[in-house]
């Protein structure tokens, strides 16, 4: 995680998007949320997706290792907050929003009370292969049975560019989640025109895919 702190400290955050994830808008209803349910956004950075979810009337729980990213999110969106110490985290809280500043792998299920959905639009593809399996196993351990995940991935010839974002194909998604999740591919298409960083790197194609996953067993 030290590399991510370095990126934030040096303002090397070209992965951040100033737009809301389109798949979140298109497939939000698949979460099937009740009024009291919360949405978890792992490795949230300063994602505007959190604002979109809040604007739909639901609470958000995020986790982000960089204090810089967390503070920028609140400042850039004119949100007031308070900070409390909770276990190994500094908890930044505002109306309908909690962001745990610290290591994702220090979260427990108690930090995700009432979380019934997870938005992973950039988290899995931000991780190198050796961390992805650990991340999915840990995520599985801290969310409840019945929780849904909206997962967005990119697939491209990995040898043509070093990540992040990293290439994750359908077979890897199935391998990572199949033991405890039901999986449905929502869409998959060549999106090279909208991924300028990867296009400039000279990759042959960029496949953008979205999945709806539901945890069905422990």
Q: Are residues 200 and 137 in the same domain?
A: yes
Q: Are residues 173 and 185 in the same domain?
A: yes
Q: Are residues 1 and 95 in the same domain?
A: yes
Please say if the pLDDT value at position 2 is more than 50: no
pLDDT band at 15 (very low <50, low <70, confident <90, very high): low
| Residue 136 CA, distance from chain mean position | 12
Domain that residue 92 falls in: 1-7+21-26+36-119
pLDDT band at 1 (very low <50, low <70, confident <90, very high): low
pTM here is 0.94
Q: Are residues 1 and 108 in the same domain?
A: yes
Domain limit, last residue, from 78, 96, 119: 119
Domain limit, last residue, from 68, 100, 119: 119
The tens digit of pLDDT for each residue in 205-217 reads: 899 999 999 999 9
Q: What percent of the chain has pLDDT over 70?
A: 94
Domain limit, last residue, from 67, 87, 119: 119
Mean pLDDT of 41-50: 96
Mean pLDDT of 66-76: 96
CATH number of the CATH domain containing 43: 3.40.50.150
Q: Are residues 146 and 174 in the same domain?
A: yes
122 contacts 47 by C-beta, under 8 angstroms: yes
Mean pLDDT of 47-67: 97
Asked if residue 14 is part of any domain, the answer here is no
SS3 content of the chain, % helix, strand, coil (to 5): 35, 25, 35
Domains in the chain, number: 2
The tens digit of pLDDT for each residue in 136-165 reads: 999 999 999 999 999 999 999 999 988 888
Q: Which of 123, 146, 121, 138 is nearest to 31 (CA)?
A: 146
The tens digit of pLDDT for each residue in 86-131 reads: 999 999 999 999 999 999 999 999 999 999 999 999 999 999 999 9
Please say if the pLDDT value at position 184 is more than 90: yes
Q: Are residues 142 and 107 in the same domain?
A: no
Q: What percent of the chain has pLDDT over 90?
A: 82
Tokens in use for 3? Answer: 């590399």
């Amino acid at each position: 995680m030290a590399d991510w702190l370095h990126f934030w400290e040096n303002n090397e955050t070209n992965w951040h998007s100033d737009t809301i994830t389109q798949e979140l808008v298109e497939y939000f209803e698949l979460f099937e949320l009740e009024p009291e349910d919360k949405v978890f956004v792992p490795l949230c950075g300063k994602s505007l997706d959190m604002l979109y979810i809040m604007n739909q009337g639901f609470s958000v729980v995020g986790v982000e290792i960089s204090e810089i990213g967390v503070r920028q999110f609140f400042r850039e969106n004119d949100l007031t907050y308070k900070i409390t110490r909770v276990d190994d985290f500094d908890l930044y809280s505002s109306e309908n929003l909690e962001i745990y500043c610290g290591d994702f792998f220090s979260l427990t299920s108690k930090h995700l009370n009432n979380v019934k959905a997870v938005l992973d639009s950039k988290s899995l593809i931000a991780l190198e292969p050796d961390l992805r399996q650990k991340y999915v196993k840990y995520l599985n351990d801290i969310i409840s049975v019945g929780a849904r995940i909206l997962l967005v991935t990119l697939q491209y010839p990995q040898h043509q560019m070093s990540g992040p974002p990293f290439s994750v194909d359908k077979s890897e998604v199935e391998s990572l989640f199949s033991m405890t999740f039901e999986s449905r591919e929502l869409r998959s298409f060549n999106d090279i025109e909208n991924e300028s960083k990867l296009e400039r790197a000279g990759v042959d194609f960029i496949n953008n895919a979205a999945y709806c996953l539901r945890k069905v067993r422990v």
